[in-house]
């Protein structure tokens, strides 16, 4: 595409595609999807699987001087192929790749690794007429480039591209089927073909030339058996529906009719940021969601397309949902919900969802996103700055390798490539780079220890700030993707993909903001309404404790857990500090709130029971009589490095949340013992002898689980590894395997999941199911919740017969034994 590059630049964009059978266990495409991102004249595709590691799974295409349109990439699958359609500012492209089912002779995947569909993409000649077409009506200027696009594969195999002309109107470019000869056809859908029905179909409004108000700012298509509907949301705030077969506009709806107020003000200015999305299912038909971007009163309208006789169509209004968020990045419509991602005023990612039919108060549901790394790193007086910064930089859940590598390149002012470095090698490279920079700045031969320490902090904080900057850039959200087959939700970001996982009920309550917590009237933790109310009041008190806890006291609690000190004694000391420094009467506010709890010990016991993972977790997989085909598929399920990483990150997040919850609950119980006046003597005795010791043990257990999730394994010499494997074989842990790649850091929990727990978990989940009879459907929220629960139970380091310290020492020595790094 050797044309002029526009001075303008489209926004970066992203998207995703899930295979039709990605929700079926007995399929080569189970849990498999493709995501892409565009920037300028580059587009990058990545194919990922949660079951198997895919080889050659990423490709970056550079289309010189042709800018990728936002939303200008779409993917469809046919029986034999996966077809990628690309729209740029001056051209359209088609890539025809083999379908995974045709790359393998069997649906059974027995290898730990398999080839991606992108493996042989280098053999394609992208300049052949069958793969690309330069748009003749684009004259190399922004004024003639399309502003929006949509594309699909027709039932005849043709590639059809719908382009919004900047002067108004829609142009349709059709490429012949990739395996057939033919010529490219270009069709313009004009407003003069507008048909309105008064008495039978007849033209009544001929508008003549296109108008700039007709410019489509968002396009979507829906295929029928013998036609395709093209939906265009235009600058004049109107939604138009075109029939591709009849080349006429069948429906025009003014979206401002669905606004409750202020229509005149909005109508006066052209629409710029409205968005359109479709959802179709055989049970509910075709639904449309239109986002109307209006300052301070944006809204989502959900409409249903209704057909009647003689090709007459109308739209039924289903729901309108309002939002106060300003900068919408993307949204997705499902059968029951609207999912959306925004950037807030602080440029932080906000993800929410709402049921568009059953939301009574119009309250959006929160999604708790992983917080950004701390802006500053606290270095204690007795700590080595280099070690502290390295621990933060290379701790899981904080920085991606891409951000560290980019910062390293900038810091060294060079163009070295570090993509082949292992995690440990990258850590050494960072250490050497920063230390060399520090040494190069030293002009004096003698330094006192304190001056040198301050210099260390200065240079390490400078490198850390550089990493923060690039981590923020890579964390910029570009799109949402929801798999129709598995209901898996992903946030596609500039540098990586974030997977959304269901939040357990107790974690949800603790993490919810006050606005959401106050709106709750019941909780799944307790069936009784009075107990539910008590639990909610208790959670609010825990939140108040957490907000009143100074940073130094929180650090003191954490340090005590590290040093295996008694959590009960340390919590007493922390409470004394809170009481002594309660200048704003926070403790009195907490005590007032505690008065609203009618039965505190029952509420506390309910929370502890919900937090206790002690269960009949079976580490031995039971023979279930499943066929060989099913057993092979189960042996691969959620076995890829991507799945292991995200599952174990979820374990870590759960452990971190519950560690804080147990800490706050322990302090609150100490407050009851000290001052509580709405508890009886028997209840105080229950607190002392039962509830506080249980809470203390839970706190220790979750802290250990968190540490295991954050502890990177270390490489083991081969002679020691072989000896360990011999011991493991004597113990009959036959499914242990040697880690094959050290390019990605692995935590102790990941190794345990991959080598010990995963197969037992899958066997337990499917032990009572007829997998072949039920088609083995994989519903992501349900499956991942079960996997996380069982994995946490397998890892749970507490035994009721041991006291807290005994449990700690035994488990800690065990965790240090598994240094598989």
- Per the DSSP assignment, residues forming a β-bridge with 320 are 301
End of a domain among 458, 474, 490?
474
- The pLDDT tens digits for 204-259 are 333 334 556 788 999 999 998 789 999 999 999 999 999 999 999 999 999 999 98
Report the alpha-carbon distance of residue 496 to residue 402 in Å, rounded: 9
Q: What is the predicted pLDDT for the residue at 682?
A: 87
Report the alpha-carbon distance of residue 227 to residue 55 in Å, rounded: 39
Cβ within 8 Å of residue 512, ≥6 positions away = 366, 520
Query: Do 324 and 335 form a contact (C-beta atoms < 8 A)?
Result: no
Report the alpha-carbon distance of residue 77 to residue 95 in Å, rounded: 12
Q: Is the dihedral of CA 180, 186, 192, 194 positive or negative?
A: positive
Domain-embedded: residue 222 = no
Q: What is the predicted pLDDT for the residue at 415?
A: 62
Residue 734: DSSP 8-state = T
Task: Determine the length of the chain.
Answer: 821
- Same-domain check for residues 720 and 765: yes
Domain-embedded: residue 310 = no
Q: What is the predicted pLDDT for the residue at 719?
A: 59
Report residue 409 CA to chain centroid gap. Answer: 28
Report the alpha-carbon distance of residue 645 to residue 401 in Å, rounded: 14
Domain-embedded: residue 264 = no
Query: Do 135 and 166 form a contact (C-beta atoms < 8 A)?
Result: no
Q: Quick count: other Cβ atoms within 10 Å of Cβ 707?
A: 19
Residue ranges in the chain whose pLDDT is less than 50: 2-7, 193-209, 616-621, 623, 728-743, 799-821
Report the alpha-carbon distance of residue 784 to residue 490 in Å, rounded: 14
Tokens representing 539 are: 């959670």
Tokens representing 810 are: 């035994």
Domain-embedded: residue 635 = yes
End of a domain among 141, 172, 187?
187
- Same-domain check for residues 536 and 576: yes
Domain-embedded: residue 136 = yes
Domain-embedded: residue 352 = no
Q: What is the predicted pLDDT for the residue at 1?
A: 53
Tokens representing 739 are: 């880690």
Report the alpha-carbon distance of residue 468 to residue 373 in Å, rounded: 7
> What are the φ and ψ backbone dihedral angles of 67, each rounded to 5 degrees?
-80, 135
- The pLDDT tens digits for 73-128 are 999 999 999 999 999 999 999 999 999 998 886 656 667 789 999 999 988 887 78
Q: How many CA atoms lie within 13 A of 802 on its CB side?
A: 15
Q: How many CA atoms lie within 13 A of 213 on its CB side?
A: 12
Residue range of the domain that includes 467: 385-474
Q: What is the predicted pLDDT for the residue at 775?
A: 58
Domain-embedded: residue 408 = yes
> What are the φ and ψ backbone dihedral angles of 763, each rounded to 5 degrees?
-65, -40
- Same-domain check for residues 787 and 666: yes
Query: Do 150 and 70 form a contact (C-beta atoms < 8 A)?
Result: no
DSSP string, 19-52: -TTTTBTTSTTTTEEEEEEEETTEEEEEEEESSS
- Same-domain check for residues 524 and 461: no
End of a domain among 144, 163, 187?
187
- Same-domain check for residues 679 and 792: yes
Q: What is the predicted pLDDT for the residue at 445?
A: 62
Domain-embedded: residue 38 = yes
- Same-domain check for residues 450 and 529: no
By the 10 Å C-beta count (0-12 exposed, 13-18 middle, 19+ buried), 726 is classed as: exposed
- Same-domain check for residues 469 and 594: no
Instruction: Give the residue from 108, 26, 21, 49 showing the smallest Cα distance to 646.
Output: 49
Report the alpha-carbon distance of residue 536 to residue 522 in Å, rounded: 8
- Same-domain check for residues 641 and 787: yes
Report the alpha-carbon distance of residue 134 to residue 173 in Å, rounded: 11
- Same-domain check for residues 556 and 674: yes
Place of tokens 């950004």: 372
**Helix and strand totals (H; E) in the chain:** 22, 31
Tokens representing 61 are: 């295409």
Query: Do 15 and 73 form a contact (C-beta atoms < 8 A)?
Result: yes
Q: What is the predicted pLDDT for the residue at 481?
A: 97
Residue 596: DSSP 8-state = T
Q: Quick count: other Cβ atoms within 10 Å of Cβ 393?
A: 21
Q: What is the largest CA-CA distance in the chain?
A: 97
Tokens representing 353 are: 């969802």
Write a three-state SS string for 75-132. Answer: EEECCCEEEEEEEECCEEEEEEEECHHHHCCCCCCCCCEEECCCCCHHHCCCCCCCCE
- Same-domain check for residues 389 and 534: no
- Same-domain check for residues 647 and 693: yes
Count up the domains in the chain and report the number: 3
Report the alpha-carbon distance of residue 354 to residue 276 in Å, rounded: 17
Q: What is the predicted pLDDT for the residue at 718?
A: 52
- Same-domain check for residues 666 and 774: yes
Write a three-state SS string for 320-367. Answer: EEEECCCEEEEEEECCCEEEEEEECCCCCEEEEEEECCCCCCCCCEEC
Global pTM reads 0.87
Report the alpha-carbon distance of residue 439 to residue 455 in Å, rounded: 10
């Amino acid at each position: 595409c050797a044309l002029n590059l526009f001075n303008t630049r489209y926004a970066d964009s992203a998207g995703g595609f899930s295979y039709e059978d990605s929700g079926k266990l007995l399929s080569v495409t189970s849990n498999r999807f493709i995501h892409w991102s565009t920037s300028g004249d580059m587009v990058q595709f990545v194919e990922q699987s949660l079951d198997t590691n895919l080889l050659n799974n990423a490709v970056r295409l550079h289309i010189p001087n042709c800018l990728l349109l936002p939303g200008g990439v779409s993917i469809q699958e046919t029986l034999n192929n996966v077809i990628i359609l690309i729209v740029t500012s001056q051209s359209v492209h088609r890539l025809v790749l083999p379908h995974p089912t045709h790359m393998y002779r069997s649906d059974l995947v027995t290898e730990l690794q398999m080839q991606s569909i992108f493996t042989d993409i280098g053999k394609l000649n992208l300049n052949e007429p069958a793969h690309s077409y330069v748009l003749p009506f684009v004259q190399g200027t922004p004024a003639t480039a399309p502003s929006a696009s949509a594309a699909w594969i027709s039932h005849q195999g043709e590639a059809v591209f719908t382009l919004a002309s900047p002067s108004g109107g829609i142009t349709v470019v059709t490429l012949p089927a990739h395996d057939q000869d033919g010529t490219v056809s270009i069709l313009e859908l004009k407003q003069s073909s507008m048909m309105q029905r008064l008495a039978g179909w007849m033209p009544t409004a001929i508008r003549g030339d296109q108008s700039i108000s007709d410019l489509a700012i968002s396009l979507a298509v829906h295929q029928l058996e013998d036609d395709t509907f093209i939906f265009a949301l235009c600058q004049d705030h109107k939604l138009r529906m075109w029939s591709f077969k009849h080349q006429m506009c069948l429906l025009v709806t003014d979206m401002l009719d669905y606004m409750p107020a202020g229509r005149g003000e909005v109508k006066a200015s052209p629409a710029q940021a409205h968005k359109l999305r479709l959802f179709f299912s055989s049970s509910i038909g075709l639904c449309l969601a239109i986002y109307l971007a209006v300052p301070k009163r944006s809204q989502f309208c959900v409409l249903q397309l209704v057909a009647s006789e003689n090709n007459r169509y109308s739209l039924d209004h289903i729901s309108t949902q309002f939002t106060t968020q300003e900068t919408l990045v993307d949204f997705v419509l499902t059968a029951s919900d609207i999912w959306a991602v925004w950037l807030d005023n602080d440029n932080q990612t906000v993800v929410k969802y709402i049921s568009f039919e059953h939301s009574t108060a119009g309250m959006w549901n929160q999604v708790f996103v992983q917080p950004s790394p701390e802006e500053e790193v606290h270095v204690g007086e007795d700590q080595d700055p280099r070690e502290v910064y390295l621990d933060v930089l290379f701790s899981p859940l904080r920085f991606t390798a891409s951000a560290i590598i980019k910062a390293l390149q900038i810091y060294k002012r060079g163009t070295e490539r570090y993509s082949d470095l292992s995690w440990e090698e990258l850590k050494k490279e960072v250490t050497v780079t920063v230390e060399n920079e520090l040494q190069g700045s030293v002009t004096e031969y003698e330094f006192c220890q304190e001056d040198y320490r301050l210099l260390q902090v200065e240079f390490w904080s400078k490198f850390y700030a550089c990493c923060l900057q690039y981590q923020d850039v890579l964390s910029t959200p570009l799109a949402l993707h929801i798999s129709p087959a598995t209901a898996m939700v992903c946030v596609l970001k500039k540098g990586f993909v974030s997977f959304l996982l269901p939040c357990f009920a107790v974690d949800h309550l603790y993490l919810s903001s006050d606005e959401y917590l106050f709106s709750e009237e019941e909780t799944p933790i307790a069936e009784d309404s009075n107990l539910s109310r008590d639990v909610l009041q208790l959670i609010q008190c825990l939140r108040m404790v957490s907000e009143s806890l100074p940073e130094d006291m929180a650090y003191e609690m954490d340090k005590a857990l590290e040093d295996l000190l008694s959590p009960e004694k340390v919590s007493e000391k922390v409470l004394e500090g809170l009481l002594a420094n309660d200048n704003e009467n926070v403790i009195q506010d907490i005590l007032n709130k505690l008065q609203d709890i009618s039965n505190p010990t029952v509420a506390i016991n309910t929370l502890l029971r919900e937090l206790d993972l002690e269960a009949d977790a079976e580490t031995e997989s039971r023979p279930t009589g499943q066929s060989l085909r099913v057993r092979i598929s189960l042996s691969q399920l959620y076995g890829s490095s991507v799945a292991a990483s995200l599952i174990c990150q979820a374990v870590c997040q759960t452990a971190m949340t519950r560690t804080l919850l147990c800490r706050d609950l322990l302090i609150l119980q100490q407050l009851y013992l000290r001052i509580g006046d709405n508890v009886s003597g028997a209840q105080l005795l229950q607190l002392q002898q039962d509830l506080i010791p249980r809470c203390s043990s839970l706190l220790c257990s979750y802290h250990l689980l968190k540490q295991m999730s954050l502890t990177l394994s270390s490489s083991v010499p081969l002679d020691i590894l072989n000896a360990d494997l011999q011991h493991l074989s004597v113990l009959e842990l036959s499914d242990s395997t040697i880690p094959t790649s050290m390019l990605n850091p692995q935590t102790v929990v990941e190794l345990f999941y991959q080598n010990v727990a995963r197969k037992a978990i899958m066997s337990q989940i499917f032990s009572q199911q007829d997998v072949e009879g039920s088609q083995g459907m994989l519903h992501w929220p349900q499956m991942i919740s079960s996997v996380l629960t069982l994995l946490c139970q397998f890892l749970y380091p507490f035994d009721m017969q041991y006291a807290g310290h005994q449990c700690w020492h035994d488990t800690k020595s065990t965790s240090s034994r598994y240094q598989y790094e």
